[in-house]
């Protein structure tokens, strides 16, 4: 782990508005975010073989800070620095998105990315760099779409997907704390990418990953929303969040003017978790 964010945030258009709504006895917050990429921006990576264009923006969730007394009551809990205050079971999170190609004459192949936060870390996947090419490590949510000119695609990241994202981040924290032999076949970013692979699901035991899944899963406190392409594109994504408080004690409601959020867009988690670099091949 390290304390600074090395990823570059490029030209983007971001609009954030918070709207409150209620459903039965549970409060929900729906927050529209719009992130855009222009077709005139420079690539974030250009190694002569590969060009990568990426825009990102932080998306905090309305999770409150613990009080001093609540924090003092939290004991030890591996692999975290302490027992989590906010658990994955404390809220149900749904992300609805609309992905749009704004070009009237060019199709676009785009990745929709979400890199998770909890109260301890912010996941930054980074890249694998070799003499031949640069390959991004997997994001927490990493979905490919092919958009025809002026096409719009709507979709949902389900509560099960978001819960799995929290589990994957907790698993990555345990892998970071108990790393594989860096010279072995599972060293470097291998286990991190396996944990975040869409085909890996915690309810289907994995002989390599299952032993790293902690018994206590810290809840998501936000994520970095991103768009990535390998060619210039004029695209945008709009998302809305539905966050339902299942505990009754952890989510800030629209009429709550007392509790402070655990994180904001300008104040995300200070500790960054990234996979280690791959070992270079033996000479």
Q: 225 — phi, psi (to 5°)?
A: -85, 135
The predicted pLDDT at position 48 comes to 76
- Low-confidence residues of the chain: pLDDT under 50: 1-25, 27
**Rounded to an integer, what distance in angstroms lies between the CA atom of residue 141 and that of residue 209?**
18
The predicted pLDDT at position 182 comes to 83
The predicted pLDDT at position 104 comes to 96
How is residue 113 written in tokens? Answer: 């990315």
Angle subtended at Cα 174 by Cα 156 and Cα 264, rounded to the nearest 5 degrees: 50
Q: Is 59 exposed, middle or buried (0-12, 13-18, 19+ CB in 10 A)?
A: buried
The predicted pLDDT at position 234 comes to 97
Beta bridge partners of 102: none
**What are the sequence ranges of the domains in the chain?**
13-273
Nearest to 148 by CA among 89, 102, 187, 182: 102
Q: What is the per-residue pLDDT across 115-156, written as a single tens digit (0 to 9) for each?
A: 999 999 999 999 887 656 778 999 999 999 999 999 999 999
The predicted pLDDT at position 36 comes to 97
Q: 231 — phi, psi (to 5°)?
A: -155, 155
The predicted pLDDT at position 280 comes to 53
**Rounded to an integer, what distance in angstroms lies between the CA atom of residue 134 and that of residue 115?**
19
């Amino acid at each position: 782990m390290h304390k600074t964010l090395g990823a570059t945030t490029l030209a983007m258009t971001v609009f954030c508005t918070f709207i409150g709504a209620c459903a039965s006895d549970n409060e929900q917050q729906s927050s529209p975010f719009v992130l855009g990429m222009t077709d005139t921006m420079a690539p974030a990576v250009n190694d002569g073989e590969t060009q990568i264009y990426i825009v990102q923006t932080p998306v905090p969730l309305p999770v409150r800070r613990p009080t001093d007394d609540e924090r003092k009551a939290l004991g030890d809990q591996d692999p975290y620095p302490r027992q989590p205050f906010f658990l994955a079971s404390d809220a149900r999170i749904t992300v609805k998105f609309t992905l749009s190609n704004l070009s009237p004459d060019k199709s676009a192949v785009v990745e929709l990315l979400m890199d998770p936060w909890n109260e301890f870390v912010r996941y930054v996947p980074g890249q694998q760099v070799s003499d031949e090419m640069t390959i991004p490590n997997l994001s927490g949510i990493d979905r490919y779409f092919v958009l025809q000119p002026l096409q719009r695609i709507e979709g949902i990241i389900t509560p099960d997907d978001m819960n799995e994202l929290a589990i994957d981040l907790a698993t990555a924290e345990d892998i970071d704390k108990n790393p594989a032999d860096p010279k072995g076949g599972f060293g470097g970013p291998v286990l991190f990418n396996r944990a975040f692979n869409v085909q890996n699901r915690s309810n289907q035991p994995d002989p390599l990953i299952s032993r790293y899944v902690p018994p206590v899963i810290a809840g998501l406190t936000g994520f970095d929303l991103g768009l990535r392409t390998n060619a210039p594109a004029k695209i945008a994504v709009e998302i809305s969040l539905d966050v339902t408080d299942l505990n009754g004690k952890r989510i800030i409601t629209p009429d709550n003017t007392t509790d402070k959020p655990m994180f904001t867009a300008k104040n995300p988690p200070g500790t960054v978790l990234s996979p280690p670099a791959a070992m270079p091949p033996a000479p």
